[in-house]
Amino acid sequence: MESDPNSLHPCLSCGACCAGFRVDFAVQERSDQGGCVPEGLTVEVTSTISRMRGTDHALPRCAALTGVVGKHAACGIYEWRPSPCREFAAGSEACERARLRRGLAPYPW
């Protein structure tokens, strides 16, 4: 099925992965360490690992996520997001798991 070029990307009505997993990355990706991820949205895990704030809560939700999961969602730091977010694949097994946990239909729907 061809997608409508005028329609929004499916992730913009989801956001489940940004409210479902711990997001850890190397401290070098942080803005205060020469990287681009805004430091204020991160927490230090170890001397070498940082984490997106909020992703290790009992009900995880990344501090950079805007909107309502399953309705409209966006990354507030899209251009500056850390590598795990850049590498996360829509339609992957982890994506499906995150959507399932939120009661959302499999990708693409």
E strand or H helix at 51: strand 49-52
In whole angstroms, give the CA distance from residue 35 to residue 69. 28
Q: Is 14 in the site for ligand SF4 (CB under 6 A)?
A: yes
Q: Is 26 in the site for ligand SF4 (CB under 6 A)?
A: no
Q: What b/e readout covers 50-68, taking b as 16+ CB neighbours within 10 angstroms?
A: bbbbbbeeeebbbbbbebe
In whole angstroms, give the CA distance from residue 64 to residue 18. 9
Q: Which of 18, 25, 27, 35 is in the footprint of ligand SF4 by CB under 6 A?
A: 18
Q: Closer to ligand SF4 at the Cβ: 27 or 75?
A: 75
- Interacting positions 51-90 with ligand SF4 (CB under 6 A): 52, 62, 64-65, 75, 77, 81, 85, 88, 90
- In angstroms and rounded to an integer, the radius of gyration of the C-alpha atoms of the chain is 14
Size of the site for ligand SF4 (CB under 6 A): 22
Q: Which of 4, 8, 15, 49 is in the footprint of ligand SF4 by CB under 6 A?
A: 15
Cross-strand bridge partners of residue 25: 50
Q: Which residues bind ligand SF4 (CB under 6 A)?
A: 10-11, 14-18, 23, 52, 62, 64-65, 75, 77, 81, 85, 88, 90, 95, 98-99, 107
